């Protein structure tokens, strides 16, 4: 028996049972749709976060003051307030050959005002290297100039939101801005970043790091962002940084180094696990659909008993009968699965329209595995009815009407 004949026989048999077919397709498509949608949501969330982290900058190492690891032993009597990170620490890091750029960061909040408009914003002090390390782009003007980090210049770069709120339609570059009691000249406006994880550069004023330290009257840094020359150099750079800081902090390794890699990998793994779990839960609905397939196949076999007897009388083998009924079950499931994938796609498209900023993405492997799962379900649940059909005695089957 040829494949196209098997398919055509099964198709003809299915066609005579439209209502039952609709039911199976409905059940199967709901199962498949929920699996695909949930997988897509999980995958999209994973990709979104991984992307966001990658856009924070490549080959990035974040140096944080303080050690997050517990060292064990007796807790020190007077508390172990770690030594602060200073600008001098940051500059010292240039001794490592693996480091391409260093952006010291100092953060605080302060009121800013211009022409009577005033609001409280985050002030970020850094150097020209920040632009490179965090991949910032400007819509107007210039970023902080390359100059001595210790020089407290009265210039600032503002985010898009602040520009809109304080200057509206006017030209911002060249205007003066008051931060606390000091006047700063706006030299640039950042390009809007849109959705972003972590720091919202749109709602921020960037000033030279020394100016920020003066504003907040502190010598310490919030953190130091380091870009390494290459991905391979990352681990050597981490070692170098530890070593340099240790030397400068009297033998105390009192900083925490976070590589972007490790953060991304952690999120990647967590979200992949979440996706898998959610998809597995959704696949329970597939099992339900499978049971429905089995039920419909039992009815199909019972109704077509005489026909099975006839096929045997006309020379069909057990294997052929088995194949015919399995094909029927597989076709039903497959139709359901295709509908389900389509349903899932439509739902995702609707979601995409509702949330244009979030990139919904249905991985191709999810589509194929949905189809494969539905086929396997059909075969598992279809095999018992099909076996019953194949094992029928032709005479008894023929006499049943």
List residues binding other proteins (CB under 8 A): 1-2, 5, 9, 12-13, 15-16, 306-307, 309-320, 393-395, 398, 401
**Which CB atom, from 15 or from 72, has the smaller least distance to other proteins?**
15
Exposed, middle or buried by CB within 10 Å (0-12, 13-18, 19+), for 53? buried
Minimum Å gap between C-beta 320 and other proteins is 6
Nearer to other proteins, 311 or 362 (CB): 311
User: 143-151 long-range CB contacts below 8 Å, 24 or more apart?
Assistant: 143/187, 143/188, 143/206, 144/187, 144/206, 144/207, 144/208, 147/208, 149/87, 149/90, 149/91, 149/104, 149/208, 149/209, 149/210, 150/87, 150/210, 151/208, 151/210
Please say which residue, 111 or 319, places its beta carbon nearer to other proteins: 319
Which among 252, 260, 253, 276 has a CA at the least distance from the CA of 365? 276
Cβ proximity to other proteins: between 21 and 376 the closer is: 21
What the block records as the tokens of 231 is 């991905």
**Shortest distance in whole angstroms from residue 268 CB to other proteins:** 52
Among 206, 218, 198, smallest CA distance to 179 is for 206
Residue whose CB is less far from other proteins, 274 or 310: 310
Query: Is the CB of 64 or the CB of 310 nearer to other proteins?
Result: 310
Cβ-proximal residues to 291 (8 Å cutoff; 6+ apart), any chain:
381
Q: Shortest distance, CB of residue 312 to other proteins, whole angstroms?
A: 7
Handedness of CA 361, 48, 194, 173 (dihedral sign): negative
Token look-up 């059940």 returns 27
Cα 187 to its chain centre, rounded Å, is: 35
Please say which residue, 13 or 224, places its beta carbon nearer to other proteins: 13
Question: Residue 244, SS3?
Answer: helix
Q: 247 near 228, Cβ under 8 Å? A: no
Closest CB to other proteins among 251 and 315? 315
- List the Cα angle 289/293/298 in 5-degree steps: 145
- Shortest Cβ 309–other proteins spacing (Å): 8
Closer residue to other proteins in complex, CB, 189/397: 397
- Residue 321 C-beta: closest distance to other proteins, Å: 10
Minimum distance from CB of 296 to other proteins (Å)? 17
Cα Rg of the chain, angstroms: 33
Percent of the chain as helix, strand, coil, to the nearest 5: 55, 15, 25
Structure tokens, 159: 């985010």
Name the residue nearer to other proteins (CB basis): 19 or 314.
314
In the complex, minimum distance from the CB of residue 31 to other proteins, in angstroms, rounded to a whole number: 29
Minimum CB separation of residue 297 from other proteins in Å reads: 17
Residue 127: helix, strand or coil by DSSP? coil
Q: C-beta of 30: minimal distance to other proteins in Å?
A: 29
> Whole-number minimum distance, CB 316 to other proteins, in Å?
5
127 vs 103, 131, 147, 207, 238, CA distance in Å? 6, 8, 8, 8, 21
């Amino acid at each position: 028996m040829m494949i196209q004949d098997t398919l055509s026989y099964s198709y003809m048999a299915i066609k005579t049972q439209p209502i039952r077919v609709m039911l199976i397709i409905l059940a199967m498509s709901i199962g498949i749709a929920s699996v695909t949608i949930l997988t897509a949501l999980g995958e999209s969330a994973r990709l979104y976060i991984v992307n966001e982290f990658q856009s924070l900058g490549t080959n990035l190492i974040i140096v944080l003051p303080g050690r997050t690891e517990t060292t064990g032993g007796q807790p020190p009597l007077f508390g172990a307030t770690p030594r602060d990170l200073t600008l001098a620490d940051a500059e010292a890091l240039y001794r490592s050959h693996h480091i391409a750029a260093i952006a010291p960061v100092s953060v605080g909040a302060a009121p800013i005002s211009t022409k009577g408009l005033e609001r409280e914003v985050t002030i970020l002090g850094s150097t020209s290297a920040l632009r490179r390390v965090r991949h910032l782009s400007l819509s107007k003007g210039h970023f902080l100039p390359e100059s001595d980090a210790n020089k407290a210049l009265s210039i600032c770069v503002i985010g898009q939101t602040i520009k809109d709120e304080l200057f509206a339609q006017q030209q911002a570059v060249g205007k003066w801005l008051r931060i606390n009691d000091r006047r700063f000249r706006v030299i640039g406006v950042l390009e809007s970043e849109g959705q972003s994880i972590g720091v919202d550069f749109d709602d921020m004023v960037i000033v030279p790091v020394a100016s920020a330290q003066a504003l907040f009257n502190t010598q310490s840094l919030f953190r130091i962002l380091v870009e390494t020359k290459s991905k391979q150099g990352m681990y050597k750079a981490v070692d170098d940084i530890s070593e340099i800081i240790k030397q400068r902090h009297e033998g105390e390794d009192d900083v925490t180094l976070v590589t972007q890699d490790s953060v991304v990998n952690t999120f990647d793994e967590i979200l992949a696990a979440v996706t898998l779990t959610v998809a597995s839960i959704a696949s329970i609905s597939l099992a339900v659909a499978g049971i429905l397939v089995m039920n419909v196949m039992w009815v199909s076999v019972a109704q077509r008993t005489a026909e099975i007897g006839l096929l045997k009388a006309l020379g069909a083998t057990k294997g052929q009968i088995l194949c015919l009924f399995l094909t029927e079950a597989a076709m039903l499931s497959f139709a359901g699965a295709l509908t389900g994938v389509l349903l899932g796609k439509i739902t995702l498209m609707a979601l995409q329209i509702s949330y244009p900023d979030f990139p919904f993405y249905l991985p191709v492997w999810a589509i194929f595995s949905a189809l494969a799962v539905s086929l396997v379900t059909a075969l598992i649940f279809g095999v018992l009815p099909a076996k019953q059909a194949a094992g029928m005695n032709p005479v008894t089957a023929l006499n049943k009407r």
